[in-house]
């Protein structure tokens, strides 16, 4: 009898652990309108998040979340902001890892144009 009650408790505990286990599933539509699902959200996409437990049941449905900014977009925005500031900027021209040349106004403008183009290419339009 004691063995049966321990077995029942063990099964109950295992069932509780299994029901507590859940994961997120992300859904989004691509530029052609095709719906995709994945366990990791894609960078630069607006996604709908669903929480699914181990039995396949939806635990909760969250509101669509804003897409996480890609690393390329974040870097491009930082460069754009830095080049737009009045701070003197230096460049490593000899490859030793130490800045050794201050950017001229023309070089700064050229780099700013590149940063603007990178933001346009890597960052989703605000919408």
pLDDT in tens, 45-71: 788 887 777 665 655 555 555 556 778
Domain count across the chain: 2
Asked if residue 113 has pLDDT above 90, the reply is yes
Q: What is the pLDDT of residues 79-102, one digit of tens each?
A: 889 888 888 888 888 989 888 889
Domain assignment of residue 104, given as a range: 71-122
| Chain centroid to CA 6 | 45
Q: Does residue 95 fall inside a structural domain?
A: yes
Q: Does residue 102 fall inside a structural domain?
A: yes
pTM for this one? 0.45
Give the per-residue pLDDT at 106: 92
Give the per-residue pLDDT at 47: 80
Q: Does residue 4 fall inside a structural domain?
A: no
- pLDDT greater at residue 111 or residue 6: 111
């Amino acid at each position: 009898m004691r063995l049966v009650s321990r077995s029942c408790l063990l099964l109950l505990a295992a069932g509780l652990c299994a029901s507590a286990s859940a994961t997120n599933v992300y859904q989004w539509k691509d530029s052609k309108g095709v719906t995709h699902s994945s366990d990791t959200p894609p960078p630069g996409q607006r996604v709908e998040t669903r929480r699914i437990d181990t039995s396949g049941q939806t635990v909760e449905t969250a509101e669509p979340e804003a897409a996480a900014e890609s690393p390329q977009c974040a870097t491009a925005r930082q460069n754009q902001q830095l080049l737009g500031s009045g701070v003197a900027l230096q460049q490593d021209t000899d490859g030793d890892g130490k800045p050794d040349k201050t950017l001229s106004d023309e070089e700064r403008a050229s780099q700013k144009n590149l940063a603007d183009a990178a933001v346009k290419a890597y960052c989703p339009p605000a919408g």
